Amino acid sequence: MITKKPKLMMNGHTDEIYTPEYALNPILPYLKKEWTIWENAWGTGVLAKHLIKKGFKVSSEDGDIILTNPPYSDKEGFLERAYKRGKPFAFLLPLTTLEGKKRGELFKKYGVQLIIPNRRINFIMPNKQGGSWFQTAWFCWKLNLPKQLNFVELEKQELKSMGAENQSEVQDDK
């Protein structure tokens, strides 16, 4: 049986998944207002626009912290390069990013702290129907979170209020 999930992945569309504004809420308390945020997987600028709206200076080339929802096809590359740069980072990634030998080695060597929302995020997927089929978390480094695993409540918001009027109604998992 062929399901929607592998089909989407095989077609290489999984990198084009944009972040709704409310997904930022759990990470905001850890961002210093004076920081320039380096959005290094800009895409169409959806996440950058939210950050600018919230009063942050945002750059696609450099900054005090790397914050993005990176392409899932290159999770390892983004993590490895960020660790090597030595700057704090916050990456919104599937929880399954914890799996994998190479990523495990990186997490073991450098450390990682997670902010885990209590529900799946309704990502903005251009021309796609259906909700996110995966749970994500903010993978953080050098942000001095209170715990290694920080479980947070994420307020459910409808896509219409996130400025994605063209997006079909999507379902939340809870």
Ligand X SMILES: C[S@@+](CC[C@H](N)C(=O)[O-])C[C@H]1O[C@@H](n2cnc3c(N)ncnc32)[C@H](O)[C@@H]1O
What is the spatial distance between Cα 54 and Cα 109, in angstroms, rounded to a whole number? Answer: 33
Q: Which of 13, 59, 64, 71: binder of ligand X (CB under 6 A)?
A: 71
The region of 66-74, 127-135, 151-159, 163-171 touching ligand X under the rule CB under 6 A is: 66-74
What is the edge-to-edge ordering of all strands in the sheet holding 136-141? Answer: 57-59, 36-38, 65-68, 89-94, 136-141, 113-117, 149-152
Backbone angles phi, psi at 23, to 5 degrees: -65, -20
The region of 17-25, 101-109, 135-143, 151-159 touching ligand X under the rule CB under 6 A is: 17-25
Q: Phi-psi category of 30—alpha, beta or left, where left has phi over 0 and alpha has psi -120 to 50?
A: alpha
Is residue 65 at the binding interface for ligand X, with CB under 6 A as the rule? no
Is residue 68 at the binding interface for ligand X, with CB under 6 A as the rule? yes
Is residue 16 at the binding interface for ligand X, with CB under 6 A as the rule? yes
Q: Which of 43, 80, 152, 163: binder of ligand X (CB under 6 A)?
A: 43
What is the spatial distance between Cα 141 and Cα 45, in angstroms, rounded to a whole number? Answer: 23
Is residue 18 at the binding interface for ligand X, with CB under 6 A as the rule? yes
Binding site for ligand X (CB under 6 A): 15-19, 41, 43, 46-47, 68-71, 74
